[in-house]
Chains A and B, each alone.
Chain A
Amino acid sequence: AQSVSQHNHHVILSEAASLELGCNYSYGGTVNLFWYVQYPGQHLQLLLKYFSGDPLVKGIKGFEAEFIKSKFSFNLRKPSVQWSDTAEYFCAVNTGFQKLVFGTGTRLLVSP
Chain B
Amino acid sequence: SQTIHQWPATLVQPVGSPLSLECTVEGTSNPNLYWYRQAAGRGLQLLFYSVGIGQISSEVPQNLSASRPQDRQFILSSKKLLLSDSGFYLCASHGSSGGETQYFGPGTRLLVL
Asked if A pairs with B, the answer is yes
Q: Chain B contact residues: over half helix, strand or loop, or mixed? A: strand
A45 near B104 with CB under 8 A, answer: yes
Asked if A102 lies at the interface with its beta carbon under 8 angstroms from chain B, I say yes
Residues from chain A with Cβ under 8 Å of B46 in the complex:
99-101
Asked if B68 lies at the interface with its beta carbon under 8 angstroms from chain A, I say no
Contact residue range for chain A?
A: 20 to 34
A102 near B44 with CB under 8 A, answer: yes
Scan residues 44-75 of chain B and give those whose CB is less than 8 A from a CB of chain A.
44-46, 49, 51, 59
Nearest CB in chain A: distance from B58 CB, A: 12
Distance of A101 Cα from B44 Cα, bound (Å): 8
Asked if A46 lies at the interface with its beta carbon under 8 angstroms from chain B, I say yes
Residues from chain B with Cβ under 8 Å of A97 in the complex:
32, 49, 51
Q: Chain A contact residues: over half helix, strand or loop, or mixed? A: strand
Nearest CB in chain A: distance from B24 CB, A: 15
Residues from chain A with Cβ under 8 Å of B36 in the complex:
102
Q: How many residues of B contact A (CB 8 A)?
A: 23
Scan residues 50-72 of chain A and give those whose CB is less than 8 A from a CB of chain B.
51
Distance of A97 Cα from B107 Cα, bound (Å): 22
Residues from chain A with Cβ under 8 Å of B104 in the complex:
36, 43-45
Asked if B87 lies at the interface with its beta carbon under 8 angstroms from chain A, I say no
Partner pick for A98 among B45, B102, B106, CB 8 A cutoff? B102
Distance of A37 Cα from B94 Cα, bound (Å): 17
Asked if B89 lies at the interface with its beta carbon under 8 angstroms from chain A, I say no
Interface residues of B (CB under 8 A from A): 4, 32, 34, 36, 41-46, 49, 51, 59, 90, 92, 94, 100-102, 104-107
Interface residues of A (CB under 8 A from B): 4, 6, 32, 36, 43-46, 49, 51, 90, 92, 97-105
What are 25 residue pairs bridging A and B, where the CB atoms are less than 8 Å apart in the complex? A36-B104, A43-B107, A44-B90, A44-B104, A46-B101, A46-B102, A49-B101, A97-B32, A98-B32, A98-B34, A98-B94, A98-B100, A99-B46, A99-B49, A100-B34, A100-B44, A100-B92, A100-B102, A101-B46, A102-B43, A102-B45, A104-B41, A104-B42, A104-B43, A105-B43
